[in-house]
Amino acid sequence: MADGISEGQKLDLDKLLDPREGTSVTILAWARTPALSPAAVNLDRIAERIRFLRSLNLPTTLMDRIPVKVFDEFAAEGTRMSAQHLRDLNTERRHAVLAATVLHLSRHLTDCAIDMFKKLMGILTRRA
pLDDT over threshold 80, residue 12 = yes
Give the pLDDT band of residue 4 (cuts 50, 70, 90). confident
| pLDDT over threshold 80, residue 32 | yes
Give percent of the chain with pLDDT exceeding 70.
98
Instruction: Give burial (CB, 10 Å; 0-12/13-18/19+) of 31.
Output: buried
Which pLDDT value is given to residue 111? 96
Phi and psi torsions of 11, nearest 5°: -65, -40
Query: What's the pLDDT tens digit per position in 70-79?
Result: 999 999 999 9
Q: Counting Cβ atoms within 10 Å, is residue 75 exposed (0-12), middle (13-18) or buried (19+)?
A: buried
CA–CA gap between residue 42 and residue 26 (Å, rounded): 19
Question: What pLDDT is recorded for position 84?
Answer: 95
Q: Are 115 and 68 in contact (CB under 8 A)?
A: no
Q: Average pLDDT, whole number, for the chain?
A: 94
Window from 27-31, 50-54, 58-62, 100-104 with minimum mean pLDDT: 58-62
